[in-house]
Structure 1
Amino acid sequence: EASRARSDAEFCSKIDGALQEADESQLWIELLREDCGISGASIERLHAETDELIAIFVTMVNKTRNSP
């Protein structure tokens, strides 16, 4: 959906939405780990992947906003 954005502002808005969703997903993963005692390689991979997605989305927004 973001690839069809008509402007940089719209693109950033859509990526910001994805960033919020990734951040919420990370919160739920952390709750599963810490409050529900779920552990193991799968949950750790999910947490790491969510970290990577958040970093990617932040970089995309920052580069787009700082481009001439």
Structure 2
Amino acid sequence: MRSKSIIKQKSVAFALRIIKAFRFLKEQKGEYVMSKQLLRSGTAIGALIREAEFAESKKDFIHKLHISLKEANETDYWLTLLHESDYINDIAFQSIQADCTELIKLLTSIIKSSKCNPNASTIINY
């Protein structure tokens, strides 16, 4: 039986934080537009990682992870906007942004190592 990968665990935990942030922004702050974008991009990260797990080829694997990386970068953008417009306080922003940055670093590392090692499996072991 395969153990859960770190990237999968972290992306699910991050998506759950994003869902909670969305609820807070919608219910407590009355913010609907940016919070919806945050929800979409923040939950897409893990969904794309899951898609990559069963990629049809190495190229497809890298492509799906690269799209996940783009979604993580977009999520960082929405978090920054929400913070700078005072919808998210400093402490909450620093905490969730640190998680987003960690996912970006993990995805970048997996993509780079997958490109450098053409014989490696497309299974996410990170």
Long gaps (5+) in structure 1: none
Counterpart CA distance in 2 for 1:63 and 1:9 is 13
Counterpart CA distance in 1 for 2:57 and 2:67 is 15
Paired amino acid for 1:26: D
Long gaps (5+) in structure 2: 1-50, 119-126
* Pair 1:60-2:117 in alignment: no
User: 1:29 — aligned with what?
Assistant: 79
User: 2:93 — aligned with what?
Assistant: 43
Higher relative contact order structure (alpha carbons within 8 Å, sequence separation ≥ 6): 1
| TM-score after normalising by structure 2 | 0.50
Select the residue among 40, 49, 55 that pairs with 1:5. Answer: 55
Structure 1 residue runs of 4 or more that deviate by more than 3 Å after TM superposition: none
Counterpart CA distance in 1 for 2:74 and 2:58 is 24
Please say which structure displays the higher CA radius of gyration.
2
The Cα of 1:42 is off from its aligned counterpart by: 2.1
| TM-score after normalising by structure 1 | 0.89
How many residue pairs get matched? 67
